[in-house]
Structure 1
Amino acid sequence: MPIRAWVACATILALCAAPAAQGRTIKISTWNLDWLTDRAAGDPALPLDVRPRDLADLRRLAAYATRLDADLVGFEEVDSATLAARLFPPGRYRIVMADDRVVQHSGLAVASGLTIERHPDLVTLDVYPPDAPHHLRAGVDVTIGDGTASLRILVVHLKAGCRDAPPADRRPACRTLDRQMAVLRDWITERQDEGVPFMVMGDFNRELTPTDPFMRALQDDGPLTLVTAGRATPCWGGAYFIDHLLLGNQARSWLQPDSLRVLTYDERDPAQARHLSDHCPVSVRLAMP
């Protein structure tokens, strides 16, 4: 074989044998921050038993956020973007928050380097009538990208009070959660029909399992991966998860095996730890193509 032909063949073989370019692996977390507000105790917008955090509390929460070191943090129960930025500083993150009429906003902290396309808030999760004395939290709906792949994300905080009861339970909380799940199912169906990779995460206030009727209903139009399935959280004594991450379409194959983590608090005084938050950050890793 002529030398030039041999060199050409060797070059082709080397290119074929070269490893494929690897996509970005991102860490995604959901974290309920438990009435994170700077309003004074006794403010009419707050329950009587809510004690706002002091500067030391904010510093401890910021230290845990640094330790969490996630690329995306879906957070719940935060009063303002200013407070969110105390935990997720502008040098590292951009903050997206729901524009709704509550104190307990949901939002997303997005690491710099990722693109953000914001979609309208999922305001239909507030299934209460307009004249209701209190309102439910809207979902935050964004698409993030790394220049190659993108992921549609919905951050939710659903109605409390129906943690494990059947959907047919006639208590008001269960009836409300049932209506919210119908809204969520419609959003999921739209994403499945579009064929885009997506994730729903946040505080569902529900012990979702693969056999839970609500979980089955969410999968009417296609399978979902419930990252927390079959697991109990080490946060506050090992209860079943109510903070969840659901993956749909191509995002299901992006999940890194055994990447589910829960960041627990180091404080020895349980009362002090619970004052930081009654939830711990839950995270997974996705390998975007």
Structure 2
Amino acid sequence: MRLLACAGWLVAVLATPAPHGATARTIKVSTWNLDWLTARAAGDPALPPGLHLRSEDGLHQLATYATRLGADIVGFQEVDSPALAARLFPPARYQIVMSDDHVVQRVGLAVATGLTVTRHPDLSELDVYAPDAPHQLRVGLDVTIDDGTASLRILIVHLKAGCRNAALADRRPACRTLARQLTVLDDWIAQRQDEGVAFLVMGDFNRNLTPADPFFRQLETDGPLTLTTAGRASPCWGGTYFIDHILLGNQARTWLRPDSLRVLTYDTQDPALAPDLSDHCPVSVGLEIP
């Protein structure tokens, strides 16, 4: 895999004037796992023992990076409430939409105020655990974004951890769970392929997706997808393979601005300082919406 060329934080994708007579605009779309962003107190039974809780300074730093990111649409993961999301994505600029499940690590979306958001039912089937299981999995957030001329269906996901590279037939519990989630995600994508709508799936897949990965190939059963992170590795925290991905389907594949994949890295690259930031960096691409 080739490391995405960058040093320090990478600047926002800037809108490029469209040719005379064209009406396309470039919007920046990003996914960002915010790593247990919660205001719950230490010892809360919903939190793992010894979890590092964010300080006010940590929240301020995250808000500063959110401003640097400057994205129009941000799919985020591991956020406990809309109020906390609004600390990073203020209501003067963003609308906040979040999943309705009751886990701490909820998924959500921050959308620029000039865009219209239509909410669809959460993809609750991604929680493949039994209702009486001691812990539940994250559901998917399903919305349509409209700018008045074009629309984009978006699904935000945070899939099961623990099976980044193993075969889908691996019998470990994490891999078996991820394989069940794959079936749900594949069905959602197939429905969008059949409808012919522009769509995007982004979030923390907890999987090192590649075009040859059986997980990704299964998602392409009903039509081609563009894996925007294909052939690259992330510079986040000194270099790693992507598990945060943005997938494009149907006409959204043609909207991808070439070479627009960006990773906004933190000013510090000392992993010891990660707890007040996040163990994930924001990943983004530019889409030229007709």
TM-score (norm 1): 0.92
1:111 aligns with 2:124: no
- CA deviation after TM superposition for structure 1 residue 101, in Å: 1.9
Q: Secondary structure at the match of 2:154?
A: strand
1:248 aligns with 2:249: yes
One-letter code aligned to 1:242 = I
5 Å-filtered alignment, 1:91-240, equals 91-240=92-241
Q: Which has the higher contact order (CA 8 A, sep 6+)?
A: 2
Tell me whether 37-46 or 153-162 shows the greater mean CA deviation. Answer: 37-46
Q: Distance in 1 between matches of 2:269 and 2:179?
A: 38
Maintained 8 Å contact 1:125/1:139: yes
Give the number of equivalent residue pairs: 272
Q: Secondary structure at the match of 1:193?
A: helix
- CA deviation after TM superposition for structure 1 residue 19, in Å: 2.4
Maintained 8 Å contact 1:197/1:248: yes
Q: Secondary structure at the match of 2:285?
A: strand
Q: Secondary structure at the match of 2:176?
A: helix
Q: Distance in 1 between matches of 2:119 and 2:239?
A: 36
Q: Secondary structure at the match of 2:47?
A: coil
Maintained 8 Å contact 1:151/1:197: yes
Q: Distance in 1 between matches of 2:256 and 2:141?
A: 22
Maintained 8 Å contact 1:157/1:204: yes
Maintained 8 Å contact 2:209/2:215: yes
- CA deviation after TM superposition for structure 1 residue 74, in Å: 0.1
- CA deviation after TM superposition for structure 1 residue 21, in Å: 2.6
Which structure 1 residue ranges, 4+ long, deviate > 6 Å from structure 2?
A: none
Maintained 8 Å contact 2:210/2:216: yes
Equivalence for 2:10: none
Q: Distance in 2 between matches of 1:196 and 1:74?
A: 19
Q: Distance in 2 between matches of 1:118 and 1:100?
A: 15
In structure 2, runs of 5+ residues without a counterpart are 1-18
Maintained 8 Å contact 2:77/2:105: yes
- CA deviation after TM superposition for structure 1 residue 52, in Å: 1.2
Q: Distance in 1 between matches of 2:155 and 2:90?
A: 22
- CA deviation after TM superposition for structure 1 residue 273, in Å: 3.2
Q: Distance in 1 between matches of 2:90 and 2:146?
A: 20
Q: Distance in 2 between matches of 1:245 and 1:268?
A: 24
- CA deviation after TM superposition for structure 1 residue 274, in Å: 4.1
- CA deviation after TM superposition for structure 1 residue 41, in Å: 1.4
One-letter code aligned to 2:206 = N
Maintained 8 Å contact 1:265/1:273: no
Q: Distance in 2 between matches of 1:125 and 1:269?
A: 34
Percent identity of paired positions between Structure 1 and Structure 2: 74
C-alpha distance after superposition, 1:81-127 (max 9, x if no partner):
00000000000000000000200000000001001111000000000
Q: Secondary structure at the match of 2:44?
A: coil
- CA deviation after TM superposition for structure 1 residue 269, in Å: 4.0
Q: Distance in 1 between matches of 2:42 and 2:53?
A: 6
Q: Distance in 2 between matches of 1:217 and 1:275?
A: 37
Q: Secondary structure at the match of 1:286?
A: strand
The structure that has the greater radius of gyration is 1
Maintained 8 Å contact 1:152/1:198: yes
In structure 1, runs of 5+ residues without a counterpart are 1-17
